[in-house]
Amino acid sequence: MDSLYVFLFSEVASTKTFVVIVLLLLAYLVLKNRARLGITFALGAALMGATVWCLKIIFAVERIPGGRLPVDSYAFPSGHAAASAFLAVIALGYVQGIANPWQRFGLSLVTIGLAIAIGASRVVYTVHTPLQVLAGAIIGIVFGALTYALMKRVPG
């Protein structure tokens, strides 16, 4: 069970997977003649990722010694937490358009639960402190909210 949890919340929720999700959504929106919406989403994701990357370099906080997962980048802020919070905020914005309140509630709960589980996994596996995860989550929430607000303004 432990290895499944590591796989789901560390590997599946990785930066590579985040990039794949962003590119797949961009491609889908382009194919649906919603290129502006897709580009807005992709730019928001890229700016969020660039912000996390720059902050990691600026602060240069080393990882917790003896962490349970092999990681070769700086620790502050958590990129996993930022990416999961970013996607959660975007998803929550669109989930609110679902008419059925039980479906809306269920999907909201799953979305929030996944973002929290991904952030918590980074602390459980000692690759981040709670503060590093919180900082990443705040960055993801802010960029997610700004991106969603811009996406709602895209015509069409």
Task: Indicate yes or no: pTM above 0.85.
Answer: yes
Q: Which amino acid is at 91?
A: A
Q: What is the 3-state secondary structure (H, E, C) of 107-121?
A: HHHHHHHHHHHHHHH
Tens digits of per-residue pLDDT, 118-137? 898 888 888 889 999 999 99
CA atoms within 13 A on the CB side of 78: 33
Tens digits of per-residue pLDDT, 45-60? 999 999 999 999 999 7
Tens digits of per-residue pLDDT, 73-109? 777 899 889 999 999 999 999 888 888 889 989 999 9
